[in-house]
Amino acid sequence: MTPYEALYGRKCRTPLCWVETGERKVIGTELVDQATNKIRLIIDRLKAVQDRQRKYYDAKHRPVEFEVGEFVFLKVSPMKGVQRFGKTEKLSPRFVGPYEIIERIGNMAYRLDLLGHMQGIHIVVHISVLRKYVSDDSKRIQSKPVQLNRLAHPTNTVNRRRVAEQSLSRSREGRATGHLCGRAE
C-alpha cells in the first residue's frame, strides 16, 4: 500500500508520461521507472512488517470459542475521569460479570444477557472483550445465619474525659496540639 492509498483510500492515478511545464517535452521513462520501483519497495516492506506482526500475534493468540449458555466475563476498559461501579479508575474492575451468552453472531461476536445496571451497554460484543468464567465451588464461602438481638447493650462505655486528656499530645516542635475526640460531661 502506498502512502497515497493509505491517505485517500484509492490507487494513485499516475500520468503515463511526465512532462515539463512550458515546452511539453517528455522527460523519459526513468522517472516513471524510479516511481514504480519505489512503490514496489514500499509494498514489499509493508508486507514484511505485516508478516512480522502476524507472527507475533499468532505466537500469543489463543483461539477461543464459546457456546450458547456458557457464562463469560465482560472486559470494561477504564476511562480517565469516569467512575464505574462506584470505584475510581484505578480500582475499578477490569472484567465484570459473569453474563450468559444468549446467541452466537458470526465467528467473532456474541449476544449477552446483560442485567440491571448494564442495560445501557450494547449487548452484542466482540470475542476479544470476553473471558471465560470458571466456577470454583471450593472458593465459595459458606455463611452462617447471624441472629441479631435488638435489645443488646454495649459492653464498655467510653470515658470521654479520659479520651480527651490522652489525645492531647506534643509535636516535635514542642507546641501542644489538641485532638479532642469528644466533650467531657
Report which of residues 4 and 104 the model is more confident about.
Answer: 104
Q: pLDDT, tens digit, for every residue of 121-177?
A: 677 888 888 888 887 766 666 667 766 666 666 666 666 665 555 555 444 445 555
Asked if 84 contacts 92 with a C-beta cutoff of 8 angstroms, the reply is: yes
User: What is the phi/psi pair of residue 153, to 5°?
Assistant: -120, 155
Domain range annotation of the chain: 3-60, 71-135
Average pLDDT value for the chain: 72
Query: 3-class DSSP state for residue 55?
Result: helix
Q: Give the separation between CA 81 and CA 92, rounded to whole angstroms.
A: 12
Alpha-carbon distance values, 65 to 100, 129, 134 (Å): 14, 12, 14
pLDDT value, residue 185: 46
Task: Kindly give the residue spans of alpha helices, DSSP state H, lying in the chain.
Answer: 3-8, 29-60, 160-166
Q: What is the pTM of this model?
A: 0.44
**Cell 507475533 identifies what position?**
56
In the block, cell 521507472 appears at: 33
